Amino acid sequence: MLPRWHIFYGAIFTLVIWAIIPTINPFYLGLLFLASFLIDFDHYIEAVLHTKKLSLFKAFDYYKSLQQREQESYKKGLRKKGEFYIFHTVEFHLFIVLLSIFFPFLFYIFLGMVFHSLLDILDMVRKDRFYTREYFFFNWLRKISSS
Ligand SMILES: [Zn+2]
């Protein structure tokens, strides 16, 4: 899903939470909103690692060509996993929620991340691309250490 849609839905989600809990600390609302799209920063990290360029535009180009390649594989019936996105893993979500026991503000970041990941999953299921992502950090680790 494109960042602009994550920002849009993230804003709606933040407003809904605000409507449910009007007394909520605005700082927490801000964190929730930012987390609902900044989790995609891992996509930028992946692009920088592949292109060796810091430019955000180059990162967008990278994903455009990656999407084309993925589309071609899909047409050929190939179901390959795409890039690895560390912030989108189940383990990273658990790590943040566990840390929130000690640092309560992290709970709002966790909520934004979960909302983001649910949108990603819905979008991928709708486009029949659920298989493209590695959802578990330890699966990824096992694979790279055995290859
Ligand atoms: Zn995402």
Domain assignments of the chain as residue spans, ordered by start: 3-146
| Structure tokens given for 49 | 């690692």
| Gap from CA of 21 to ligand 1 centroid (Å) | 26
- What is the per-residue pLDDT for 80? 87
Cα–Cα distance between 78 and 74 in angstroms, integer? 5
| Gap from CA of 4 to ligand 1 centroid (Å) | 11
Per the listing, tokens 């799209």 go with: 37
| Gap from CA of 38 to ligand 1 centroid (Å) | 9
DSSP state, 131? G
Judged by DSSP in three states, 77 sits in coil
- What is the per-residue pLDDT for 1? 86
- Chain segment 62-112, per-residue pLDDT in tens: 999 999 999 999 999 999 888 999 999 999 999 999 999 999 999 999 999
- Chain segment 1-50, per-residue pLDDT in tens: 889 999 999 999 999 999 999 999 999 999 999 999 999 999 999 999 99
Could you tell me where the DSSP H helices lie in the chain?
3-20, 26-38, 41-51, 56-75, 90-99, 106-126, 137-146
Burial of 116 (0-12, 13-18, 19+ CB in 10 A): buried
